[in-house]
Amino acid sequence: MLLGKLLKAREITVVGFLFILFILVGAVNPVFLNMENIILTLKGSVMYVFLAIGMTFVIFTKDIDVSVGAILGMCAAVAATMLRSNKSLFQIIIVTLMIGAIAGLINGIGITKLKIPAIVMTLGTMGILRGLMFVYTGGRWVENLPDYFKNASQAELFEKINIFVLFTLITVVLIQLYLSKGKKGKYFAAIGDNIDGAVLIGIPVSGIRIAAFVISGICSAIAGLVYVSQVGFVANVAGSGTEMTAIAACVLGGVSLNGGIGSVVGAALGAVIMNSINTALVFLKVPAYWNNTISGILLITIVVADAMIHTYLSEKARKERLSSKSMKIGEPLNTDRREING
Give per-residue pLDDT as tens, 76-87. 999 999 999 999
Indicate whether 53 pLDDT > 50: yes
d(CA 101, CA 214): 5
Q: How far is it, in rounded angstroms, from Cα 280 to Cα 299?
A: 17
Question: Has residue 328 got a pLDDT over 70?
Answer: no
The answer to whether the beta carbons of residues 52 and 118 sit under 8 Å apart is no
Q: What is the pLDDT of residues 135-147, one digit of tens each?
A: 999 989 999 899 9
The reported pTM is 0.86
Per-residue pLDDT, averaged over 219-233, amounts to 96
Angle, vertex CA 79, rays to CA 98 and CA 179, nearest 5: 45
Among 37-41, 71-75, 82-86, 135-139, the range scoring the smallest mean pLDDT is 37-41
Alpha helix ranges (H) inside 9-117 = 10-28, 35-60, 68-84, 89-112
pLDDT band for 22, please (50, 70, 90 cuts): confident
Q: Report the mean per-residue pLDDT for the chain.
A: 87
Residue pair 250/55 in contact by the 8 Å Cβ criterion: yes
Predicted local distance difference test score (pLDDT) of residue 325: 65
Per-residue pLDDT tens digits for 271-308:
999 899 888 888 888 887 787 787 778 768 766 776 77
Q: Is the pLDDT of residue 7 over 70?
A: no
pLDDT over 60 (residue 14): yes
CA gap 75, 242 in Å, rounded: 14
pLDDT at 96: 98
What pLDDT is stored for residue 50 in this prediction? 98
Distance between CA atoms of 261 and 211, rounded to whole angstroms?
A: 18
More reliable by pLDDT, 2 or 311: 311
Instruction: Count each helix (H run) and each strand (E run) in the chain, helices first.
Output: 14, 2
Arithmetic mean of pLDDT, 229-243: 92
Q: Tell me which of 1.10.1740, 1.20.950, 1.10.3470, 3.40.50 is the CATH number of domain 9-286.
A: 1.10.3470
Do residues 284 and 29 make contact, with C-beta atoms less than 8 angstroms apart? yes
Separation CA 319–CA 311 (nearest Å): 12
Residue with the larger pLDDT of the pair 13 and 182: 182
